[in-house]
Copies of this chain bind each other. A is one copy, B any other.
């Protein structure tokens, strides 16, 4: 399965990467020669995300110097794109005045994300530097639970009133355009700030000048609550193809909006968490590749120890059956095949079910039709492979009893693995746990235990010992 597209994109990507690398090396040269005006000019036409990458690539001693050369109106945006480690070292070097300029201009949701990742003493210093209105906005967001709509929303949006004319609405948008995160999604509120309608800038552009906002707005508003989980917010935006979704408090008053660009990052983080869980790696907000060796080992060893205990149980069962193993040593050679295949089938089933649950393809918490189907798939796969293995085992050992034992056990293990691979994540979800915790290694290890039990049980039935 060679991926042709991939080759093209690698080339294209590398050409753009070369460009970025060129910017970085030129920037370093200018800075090392003290040619600050040159460095300044160099960065003017560069996209914020690329400028951030160029700065990250510099030796650490040059970070602060490079950053201070940025034009004031772009520095906040570039700062938002910097890696959290670099953000932190910069903050430590900044004077209070610089901090105030920088942090005050960030949008509240990005600022909260920054604060979430910084050590407490730096957070305190930062909050002190904020203007009172910005501090209020930030504290508001910090008051909500992590991973909720309240935490990732921005309180800077354009709100209109129903009686506004199209022209008056345009004026208001123009006056707010530079300080709100988006002007494309517009929100209509009553005097008590209750959300009564939405419209898009497109609706406004195509409206007749004499119409009022109340006439052209949509009253069927899809919204989320401040306490809604961020993944659910992302699914809502995705489902309805929105550019932003409004966030209301418990009294249905509009308090903020979540925009689509933040949602893409949320989806990526949530997916990374799911994938890590599937691979039995404990996830957190931090970038895995920047963690210390000690922290990585700590994050990985807990799951490994749980799985080790289960493996010891498997070993214990084999040990308990030492009598039969001693007489028919050839049984030992099929153990990896049986538990390996069982683990693989279980992994397949849990993978599709966990993904189905997290993309809302499976809507019921416990879906019997899906469990039944996976069980059937397990039976079919078990029959196919079991038949193959009976023949293979006979050819190797020339013993029908052993061969049939292996085949029958494989069939049973495969069926069991597929069924539990599908059912366990759903069971976990229905109990309020993260279904992704039913990771591939976990299912595989559980199937191991049951697999050897089945194997020795069948062996005792079929082989006279």
Contact = CB atoms under 8 A, between A and B. Distances in A.
Contacts of A337: 308, 311-312, 314-315
B311 A9 contact: no
Contacts of A170: 205
Contact of A202 (B183, B237, B384): B183
A297 interface: yes
Contact of A385 (B147, B289, B308): B308
A239 B50 CA distance: 9
Contact of A8 (B227, B265, B279): B227
Interface in A262-296: 263-265, 267-268, 271-272, 274-276, 278-281, 287-289, 293, 296
A308 B264 CA distance: 39
Interface string A97-130: 0000000000000000000000000000000000
A225 interface: yes
Contact of A377 (B48, B260, B300): B300
Contact of A147 (B5, B265, B280): B5
A95 interface: no
> Residue among A174, A300, A385 with the most chain B CB within 10 A?
A300
A365 B432 CA distance: 39
A279 B377 contact: no
Given A47-B220, A440-B441, 6 more contacts: A12-B225, A17-B363, A301-B381, A304-B341, A308-B389, A322-B333
Interface of A: 1-10, 12-13, 17, 45-49, 145, 147-148, 170, 173-174, 177-178, 183-184, 201-202, 205-206, 219-220, 222, 224-225, 227-232, 237-241, 243, 260-261, 263-265, 267-268, 271-272, 274-276, 278-281, 287-289, 293, 296-297, 300-301, 303-305, 307-308, 310-312, 314-316, 318-319, 322, 325-326, 329-330, 332-337, 339-341, 343-345, 347-348, 350-352, 355-356, 359, 361-363, 365, 370, 373, 376-377, 380-381, 384-385, 388-389, 392, 396, 432-434, 437, 440-441, 444-445, 448, 452
